[in-house]
Amino acid sequence: MDFTYDNFNSLNLIFENFLNISVLSENINTCSINENVDLVANMMNDKDFDIYGVADENGAIIGYIENNSLSTGKVKDHYVEFSTDELLSDSTSLIKLIEVFKENNKKRMFILEHNKITRIVTVADLHKQPMRMLIFSYISLLEMQITSKIKEMYPENKWKKYLSKDRLETAQTLYNKRYKKNEALELIDSTQLCDKGTILRKSDELFSELQFVSKKEFKGFFKKLENLRNHTAHSQESLYEDSNELIDLILKVKDMCHILQ
């Protein structure tokens, strides 16, 4: 069965409706607005925390303090009140969180639960397992769409002209193994992600649908995409060294999914 518009929408709804920041965020550690700054600073240093929530006399979290901004006096002399562009609902999807990090150039967001601020999420949390699930899912979704486009544009394996002899032999070997197990689909289904990227890049018809300045830019993007997918499968590895580049890459994958649907 080929990948259809309805298939895409069904899977995309799962990403946007069921994977939200509640699975990524953490409770905010807090201090009282009337505590001495030096005591709070010591607690933050002991726990290696950069930020603490600040609670008023009634226990409501009304702002935050940052470790690098503390000196002397009371917490009330140093805390910062929350601004609206730092707040997100606990129902916000993970992909929306990534967009917010990109648009607002923020390193953290505070989470509202029933109109109370109780949790925090940071760019460091993008390396956690739920985000790895989302990234791997989007890359898999993109690969399915690319495969569907290739089948549509090049029936009867006419795409083979874009791959080297070695890459075709590798795909054919896998196809033959699947065929013997009665698992064969089409030859294109036995190609690797890198092969599909090569076909996209070399096919003027397919490449024209993508929003890249040049084929060189696309080649660089696809190499990063392959590395990112490999890193998501190894939880002991960091997903990416540069968080901003990671955010850009995830959003580019999402955009390509929508372009190719």
Residue 14's SS3 state is helix
CA pair distance 221, 210, nearest whole angstrom: 12
Average pLDDT over residues 79-97: 93
What is the Cα–Cα distance from 30 to 14, expressed in whole angstroms?
Answer: 34
CB atoms within 10 A of CB 141: 22
Torsion angle, alpha carbons of 118, 121, 125, 130, to 10: 70
pLDDT, average across residues 106-118:
91
Q: What local confidence, expressed as pLDDT, does residue 142 receive?
A: 92
pTM of the model: 0.84
In this prediction, residues 35-53 reach a mean pLDDT of: 90
Report the amino acid identity of residue 155. Answer: P
Question: Could you tell me if residue 115 is left (phi over 0), alpha (psi between -120 and 50 degrees) or otherwise beta?
Answer: left
Class in CATH terms, 21-123: alpha beta
Beta bridge partners of 30: 53
d(CA 259, CA 257): 6
93 bridge partner residues: 20
Q: Tens of pLDDT along 137-194?
A: 889 989 999 999 999 999 999 999 999 999 999 999 999 998 888 776 899 999 999 9
> Does the pLDDT at position 1 exceed 60?
no
Q: What is the DSSP letter of 60?
A: -
Please report which confidence band the pLDDT of residue 211 belongs to, taking 50, 70 and 90 as the band edges.
Answer: confident
- Per residue in 57-71, pLDDT (tens digit) is 999 999 999 887 777
| pLDDT value, residue 3 | 52
- What is the spatial distance between Cα 36 and Cα 32, in angstroms, rounded to a whole number? 9
What sign does the dihedral 230-233-236-241 (CA atoms) show? positive
- How does residue 19 score in pLDDT terms, banded at 50, 70 and 90? confident
Domain with CATH 3.10.580.10 in the chain: 21-123
**Mean pLDDT, rounded, of the chain:** 89
Mean pLDDT of 219-245: 84
Band of residue 239 on the pLDDT scale cut at 50, 70, 90 = confident
Q: Which tokens go with 61? A: 């979290």
pLDDT at 2 over 60: no
Q: Which residues of 226-257 are buried (b: 16+ CB within 10 A; e: fewer)?
A: eebbebbeeeeeebbeebeebbbbbbbbbebb
Better-scored residue on pLDDT, 146 or 15 = 146
